[in-house]
């Protein structure tokens, strides 16, 4: 059972692992830059989930071809890919803002370590 189970689902298992790594980085790492890296990995795993969900074996990219006609089973579903494109744009914007905030934080506290920053915040009042 196990081999078939993994053979049929390995993309989803890899996506779940990636998501776990991302969430671990976001929550457990003390370094703010590593948290942002974790966030990016987490977002990427969601993009991959959409792409994998839209995958159809034997189908081609959703661009009209004369010889295939309008038969829907011959093309991959374009909608999840459009969603991923939009989500990537959103993700890039979030990462950009996060890095800008990271720079500001570093300039003010001289560290990227969350604990050190919190200690310096308390010291300065």
Partner 1 sequence: MSQIPALIPTLLLLAALLSLLAGLKSQRAGYFLALMGAGASFLVSVLGLVEVVSSGQAIRYAMGGWIPPIGIEFVLDHLAAYMTTLITFIGVVVFIYAPRSLHFESPGKATFAYPSMALLIAGLAGMTLTGDVFNLYVFLEIAALAAYALLAIGERGGPFATLRYLLIGAAGGGFYLLGVGFLYFSAGTLNMADLSGLLPELMENRAVMTAAALMVVGLALKMALFPMHFWMPDVYHNAPTVAAGLIAPIMTKVSAYAIIRLFLDVFPPGFFTETLPITATIGWLSAAGILYGSILAIAQHDYRRMLAYSSVGQIAYVGLGIGLANPIGLIGGLLHIVNHALMKGLLFLIGGAVRLRTGVTRIPDMKGLGRSMPWTMYAFVIGILGMVGIPPTAGFFSKFYLLLGAVEAGAWIWFAVIIVSSLLSAVYFFRVTEMIFRDPGEDPAETSREEGGEKDETTPDHPQGDPPASMFIPIAILAAGVILVGVFNFVIISALLERVVAPLGG
Positions that interact with partner 1 (CB under 8 A): 23, 26, 32, 35-36, 39, 42-43, 46, 49-50, 53, 79-80, 83, 86-87, 90, 93-94, 97-98, 100-102, 104-105, 108-109, 117, 121, 124
Handedness of CA 30, 31, 34, 38 (dihedral sign): positive
Residue-by-residue DSSP string for 94-121: HHHHHHHHHHHHHHHHS--BHHHHHHHH
CA distance 22 to 91: 14
Of 66 and 125, the one with the shorter C-beta distance to partner 1 is 125
> C-beta of 87: minimal distance to partner 1 in Å?
6
Of 59 and 102, the one with the shorter C-beta distance to partner 1 is 102
Closest CA to 94 of 36, 7, 8, 55: 36
> C-beta of 69: minimal distance to partner 1 in Å?
20
Of 10 and 78, the one with the shorter C-beta distance to partner 1 is 78
Of 64 and 66, the one with the shorter C-beta distance to partner 1 is 64
Fill in the DSSP letter of residue 75: B
């Amino acid at each position: 059972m196990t081999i078939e189970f993994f053979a049929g689902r390995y993309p989803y298992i890899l996506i779940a692992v990636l998501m776990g790594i991302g969430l671990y980085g976001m929550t457990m790492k003390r370094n703010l830059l590593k948290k942002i890296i974790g966030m990016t990995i987490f977002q990427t795993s969601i993009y991959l989930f959409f792409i994998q969900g839209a995958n159809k074996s034997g189908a081609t990219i959703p661009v009209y071809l004369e010889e295939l006609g309008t038969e829907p089973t011959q093309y991959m579903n374009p909608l999840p890919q459009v969603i991923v494109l939009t989500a990537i744009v959103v993700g890039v914007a979030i990462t950009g803002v996060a890095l800008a905030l990271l720079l500001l934080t570093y300039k003010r506290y001289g560290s990227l370590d969350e604990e050190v920053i919190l200690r310096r915040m308390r010291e300065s009042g």
